Amino acid sequence: MALDRSDVEKIAHLARLQIADQDVQEYAENLTSILDLVDQMQAVDTSDVTPMAHPLDAVQRLRLDEVTEGNQRDHLQTVAPAVEAGLFQVPKVIE
Amino acid sequence: MEWEAVIGLEIHAQLATKSKIFSGASTAFGAEPNTQACAVDLALPGTLPVFNTEALRMAVMFGLAIDAEIGYTSVFDRKNYFYPDLPKGYQTSQLFHPIVGIGHVDIELEDGTTKRVGVTRAHLEEDAGKSLHEEFPSMTGIDLNRAGTPLLEIVSEPDMRSAEEAVAYVKKIHSIVTNLGICDGNMAEGSFRCDCNVSVRYKGEEEFGNRTETKNINSFRFIEKAIKGEIERQIDLLEDGGTITQETRLYDANKDETRSMRSKEEANDYRYFPCPDLLPIVIDDEYVSKLRDTLPELPDARKARFIEQFKLSDYDAMVLSAYRDLGSYFETVADKAGDAKLAANWVMGELSRHLNQNDTEIANSPVTAEMLGGLLQRISDNTITGKIAKQVFEALWAGEGSSADEVIEAKGLKQVTDTGAIEAMVDEVIAANQPQVDQYVNAEPEKRGKMIGFFMGKVMQASQGKANPGQVQGMLKQKLDALAG
Amino acid sequence: MFEKTLAELAQGLSSGEFSSVELTQAYLDRIKAEDGQLNSYISVTEEQALAQAEAADQARAAGEAGAFTGLPVAHKDIFCTQGVRTSCGSKMLDNFVSPYDATVIEKFNAAGAVMLGKTNMDEFAMGSSNESSFYGPSRNPWDKDRVPGGSSGGSAAAVAGRLAPAATGTDTGGSIRQPAALCGITGLKPTYGRVSRYGMIAFASSLDQGGPMTRTAEDAAMMMNVMAGFDQRDSTSLDREVPDYTLKLNESLAGLKIGLPKEFFSDDIDQEIAAQVQCAIKEFEALGATVKEISLPNTHLAIPAYYIIAPAEASSNLSRFDGVRYGYRCENPVDLEDLYKRSRGEGFGAEVQRRIMVGTYALSEGFYDAYYKKALQIRRLIQQDYVNALQEVDIIMGPTTPHPAFKLGEKTSDPVAMYMEDIFTISLNLAGMPGMSVPCGFAQGGLPVGLQMIGNYFAEERLLNAAHQFQQATDWHKQSPVNA
């Protein structure tokens, strides 16, 4: 399957990636060649095969309902790019 | 042609766990921003989720309560989208294999009939944080305390046809989750939220119309108003030749109207896939049947029992059975008072009025069930009149005493049943109101019954309400009739 | 001192031949002098290292030393280290000083290990050459014009270049085994779930697994004794007893059944590599093993399935890097979308963006069944191949890579050609079983060749035993690019 510029732009938007205009074509070619590679899968009949999402057939373990984490705001916000009054800051969102 | 509304609801009930669904941070409401958001909630690189056993138990309890299929193997999926209050850039949810499958609840309609509403599914997911748009002039502030609070999203079939039905359904789900103790039901704090999918069509049509989804409704009253308004808006638009846009709308309680949400305009592609950081949740019959044994009596069963056991009317039974604490309160009062009808009247009347006026929960009522029961006992055994009982109730509410008897004693409110004392008051009233006595005497005998009320009032006033009304009435009638000869 | 293995250094420390401070200082000095050429470290944590070494020496003096006390190691910069930059090889995390330690790091700290620094890697572990690192490529100590492999290329280069006695790595599609092979060292990818992923920055959650990169199998066993184990913070971690991996190293290989998958010996691979691997197999026969040909018929589907599953998981795992709570944030965002798109567009390099886009596409509406679900079905076929084969044989062997180390820049313009370098390693991550690479010779006039050994779930002890016996009989692992 060949991807064109508009496909790449749509995907980049979904993934929230700013891609320079001059790079779009190259990404389209790269992605197309990767998709050609993976398209080999389509030749295999897998209609009876159960998908395998995890390497081991283990099941989810459960955590006791206990509060183990206290207030670590100051510590965790040391790595935050923009904080005011304890709140992470982003440009104004209009709903 | 007549229009018909089609309504389906998505209810988000925050599960009343102590810690979050995937982390050990507290879920308590109202903390300072980001003080209950740990490394996992902040989605720091490398952090991983581990599932909370209580969230699982609560979800299965709900499934059992609505007679639903239980997902013996359920799987968490990732719903991918970018939003600043969604720290991982995806919400962990359950799309393909939810914990609760098809079930149903019965709702009572105004005409006294019952309607069955289908529940399509209920699945576990994590709540997002909060975006605060008003705090700063040009910025939005993000508080992630709520991020990771466990939610049960309960999705109904589009079975409802009016705002009233929708509200009855929401109330029923609300009463089930609070009865189970899996959600505190606090709508103002957002513990119980509702999104309403509304469309309209001509009655008799099979196809659904385009629907809108209204979010952010946080009271039963607003749900009703928002749905009514949305139905009207859609009908007006269609009758004017317009079309309905499939969109997300926001209910503005101040203006009592819904408006389109700009930020959600874009059609989303959520790219669901099974979360590789979590494994399938597998439960067995033993787990489910153990939980089934712990199911409390649910509203429908309790209502039937109240009708049977206490001979309550259908309406009283429904109101009193809806919430576990209200129901138990009533039962305690009824047991102690020995008169269920009286107990029902007082719980639904005087008590509810006080709770509402003071914006208080029944659990925090200054008048306990034992106190109210004791008070009603004194009405039943004629120690006080109903009117005096209200005074005693006020005193108990205000904390002036720990039992009705104490208040009655302290304030000297005991009913006067002493014949001599009553006779003295009756004589005094007759002597002091000669014109009215004359009217009575001259009236046709069949009209005298009504006129006796005047004298009753005077005597009761003189006794400060304490005279036994039956005795007063009997004595007045006897004495006045004797004057009439 | 720099030629000593971990086991030998442990002996030196316990006999008092040298202190941990002396050992650590020697390595720090050597890194300072030599790493300019190899670029194997992103951060050297001199101060902490010396403090840890001092604490280790004190513990030893107090009679509280364990097997690992005072031993210096380097950690791939994918493991979160509290108070130390954890970059994951990306501009996105260039400013990220982790507020917490990964479980693996906690375990090394608890064992009394000394962290020399954080090693270079392909950005977010996406690459097979180390060339996608924001900090520039690390170089192969055997030929500095060539790549060390990836993504754990810095760890491999540091161990091979004698800039660390041992290092940690992570392996999502071969990222421990392939650079180990290309740099002539020993690398082990454990069974999925054996080593905690908590604090190990996720690339593809269902494939990622941390493991040791060392001179010898014995050292790998020592590292596994520290790294392996159940972690309640990782839902995919397995609650299963951890053996002492050093105990069975000396067991005889008599009767060991080795399987050679015919698909691993096709004409596409470098013939010198094939020859070296065959020689190694002969060595195993001499040690008492029997050999038979087997088949892993779905091998050719491993790369296609992997290049759906890994990017799909990655596209979602990397959504958290949005410039809001940590990491790179673009200058003066005009609105939220601008904040997201520029922070991510500027913070991620080309290969990472490529994979995010492939994954985003594969999961998008209308393509899920054809790509993602299909890939998960193929994944099961591949796993079944291994399960079936490992009922017949104890260990599967073959080359780790189809070619020896390639030149810097040789494959950067062709992503697919780069992906093909992982053809023999990738299928194992899909299946979740453990695998090793051990040095087994040289090709093309001096480039190391790796022998890959694959065992059944939790067969790490068996693999380490076989590798150790092989290393007792050969000296490929003792060859040093430093002396060469």
Q: Where are the domains of chain B?
A: 3-288, 297-411, 419-484
pLDDT higher than 60, residue C81: yes
Residue B76 contacts residue B94 (beta carbons within 8 Å):
yes
Joined tokens for residue C75: 């950690």
**Mean pLDDT computed over C432-437:** 98
| DSSP states along B52-88 | EHHHHHHHHHHHHHTTPPB-SEE--EEEE---TT-TT
**Which position among C87, C138, C151, C196 bears the catalytic label?**
C151
- B contacts of A90 (beta carbons < 8 Å): 84, 139-140, 142
Nearest CB to B42 within list A53, A71, A76: A76
The answer to whether B87 contacts C96, with C-beta atoms less than 8 Å apart, is no
Q: Please say if C151 is a catalytic residue.
A: yes
pLDDT at C301 over 60: yes
- Per residue in B275-288, pLDDT (tens digit) is 999 999 999 999 99
Neighbour count for residue C264 (Cβ, 10 Å): 24
Cα C181 from Cα C214, distance rounded (Å)? 11
- Contact criterion met (CB < 8 Å) for B262 and A94: yes
Determine the residue of chain C that is closest to A27 in CA distance: C354
Percent of chain B beyond pLDDT 90?
66
Predicted pLDDT at B463: 83
- Would you call B279 and C235 a contact, using CB atoms and an 8 Å cutoff? yes
> Alpha-carbon distance B109 to B163, whole Å?
11
| C195-204: average pLDDT | 98
d(CA B479, CA B474): 9
pLDDT of residue B252 exceeding 90 = no
Which residues does chain B have within 8 Å of residue C324's beta carbon, measured at their own beta carbons? 84, 87, 142
Average pLDDT over residues A42-54: 94
Domain chopping of chain A, boundaries: 5-42
CA C237, CA C240: separation in Å to the nearest integer?
9
Using one digit for the tens of pLDDT, what is the confidence trace for B95-109? Answer: 999 999 999 999 988
Greater confidence (C387 vs C416) lies with: C387
Nearest chain A Cα distance for residue B35, angstroms: 5
Average confidence (pLDDT) over C241-257:
97
Fold type of domain C6-253: Amidase signature (AS) enzymes (3.90.1300)
The whole-number pLDDT of residue A93 equals 86
Tell which C residues from 68 to 97 touch B, by Cβ distance under 8 Å.
79-80, 86, 88, 93, 96
In CATH terms, is domain A5-42 a member of 1.25.40? no
Nearest partner of B149 among B197, B196, B103, B189, judged by Cα: B189
In whole angstroms, what is the distance from residue C202 CA to residue B43 CA?
Answer: 11
> Tell me, what DSSP letter sits at residue B296?
P
Residues of A in contact with C325 (CB under 8 A): 79-80, 88
Q: Annotated catalytic, C175?
A: yes
CB nearest C301 (choices: A44, A54, A79):
A44
DSSP H stretches of helix in B253-403: 285-293, 299-310, 314-321, 324-337, 340-346, 352-357, 369-380, 386-397
**Cβ-Cβ contacts under 8 Å for A34 (sequence gap 6 or more):** C307, C354, C358, C415, C416, C419
Whether B468 has its CB under 8 Å from any CB of chain A: the answer is no
> pTM for the complete prediction?
0.90
Q: Average pLDDT in the C53-81 region?
A: 97
**Arithmetic mean of pLDDT, B155-160:** 97
Q: Give the C-alpha distances (Å, rounded to integers) separating A49 from A41, C282, C308, C469.
A: 13, 38, 17, 40
Query: CB contact, 8 Å: B249 with chain C?
Result: no
pLDDT over 80 at B265, yes or no? no
Three-state secondary structure readout of B414-448: CCECCHHHHHHHHHHHHHHCHHHHHHHHHCCHHHH
User: Is the CB of B276 inside 8 Å of chain A's CB atoms?
Assistant: yes
Q: Are strands B150-156 and B3-14 parallel, antiparallel or unpaired?
A: antiparallel
Q: Is A24 on the interface with C (CB under 8 A)?
A: no
User: How confident is the model over B384-408, as a mean pLDDT?
Assistant: 89
Chain B contacts of A93, Cβ < 8 Å? 84, 131, 133, 140, 263
C266 flagged as catalytic: no
B320-339 mean pLDDT: 91
State the best of A3, A4, A7, A18 to mutate against chain C, taking most chain C CBs within 10 Å: A18
Q: How many CB atoms lie within 10 A of CB B302?
A: 25
Q: Cβ of C326 and B142 within 8 Å? A: no
Read off the pLDDT of residues C102-159 as tens digits, 9 standing for 90 and up.
999 999 999 999 999 999 999 999 999 999 999 999 999 999 999 999 999 999 999 9
Residue in the structure block whose two tokens are 């270079």 = C120
Measured between CB atoms, which of B46, B80, B140 is closest to C102?
B46
Backbone angles phi, psi at B319, to 5 degrees: -60, -45
d(CA B229, CA B208): 19
- Pairing type for strands B51-52 and A62-63 reads parallel
Using alpha carbons, list the distances in angstroms from residue B404 to B326, B371, B414, C5, C324. Answer: 21, 6, 11, 86, 60
Determine which helix (DSSP H) or strand (DSSP E) holds C435, and give its type and residue range: strand C435-443
Q: Does domain B419-484 have CATH number 1.10.10.410?
A: yes
C221 burial (CB, 10 Å; 0-12 / 13-18 / 19+) is buried
C-alpha–C-alpha distance, residues C466 and C460, integer Å:
10
- Inter-chain residue contact C235 with B78, CB threshold 8 Å: no
pLDDT value at residue A74 = 97
Residue B262: the pLDDT is: 61
Does B469 contact chain A (CB < 8 Å)? no
Nearest by CB to A63, which of B34, B52, B250?
Answer: B52
> B445-483, pLDDT tens digit by residue?
888 888 888 888 888 888 888 888 888 888 888 888 888
Q: How far apart are CA C42 and CA C39, in angstroms?
A: 7
For C155-183, the pLDDT digits (tens) are 999 999 999 999 999 999 999 999 999 99
Q: Does A43 contact chain C (CB < 8 Å)?
A: no
Contact status of C260 with chain B (Cβ, < 8 Å) = no
Q: Percent helix, strand and coil across chain C, each rounded to 5?
A: 45, 15, 45
C335 touching chain A per CB within 8 A = yes
pLDDT > 60? residue B318: yes
The yes-or-no verdict on residue C22 having pLDDT over 60 is: yes
Whether the pLDDT of residue B267 is over 80: the answer is: no
pLDDT at C483 over 70: no
- φ/ψ region of C327 (left if φ > 0, alpha if ψ in -120 to 50, else beta) reads left
Q: Quick check: A59 contacting C, CB < 8 Å? A: no
Confidence at B201, pLDDT banded by 50, 70, 90? very high
Q: What distance in Å separates residue A25's CA from the closest CA in chain B?
A: 24
**What are the sequence ranges of the domains in chain C?**
6-253
C417 confidence band (pLDDT: 50, 70, 90) = confident
Nearest to C432 among A8, A31, A55 (CB): A55
Start-to-end CA distance of chain B, whole Å, equals 72
- Summarize pLDDT for B163-188 with one digit per residue, the tens: 999 999 999 999 999 999 999 999 99
Spot the catalytic one: C19, C20, C43, C76. C76
Q: Residue C378's pLDDT is what?
A: 97
> What burial letters (b/e) apply to B149-164, b meaning 16+ CB within 10 Å?
bbbbbbbbebbbebbe
The mean per-residue pLDDT over the stretch B269-297 comes to 96
Q: Are C311 and C358 in contact (CB under 8 A)?
A: yes
Residues in chain A closer than 8 A to C233 (CB atoms): none
Mutate which of C357, C378, C416, C418 to disrupt the A interface (most A C-beta within 10 Å)? C357
In three-state secondary structure terms, B155 is strand
- Chosen from B41, B140, B265, B273 to mutate, greatest number of chain C CBs within 10 A: B273
φ and ψ of C464, to 5 deg? -65, -40
Report the share of chain C in percent with pLDDT over 90: 95
Tell me which residue in B43, B269, B277 faces C205 most closely, judged by beta carbons. B277
Residue-level pLDDT at B266: 61
Q: Which residues of C touch A80 (CB under 8 A)?
A: 324-326
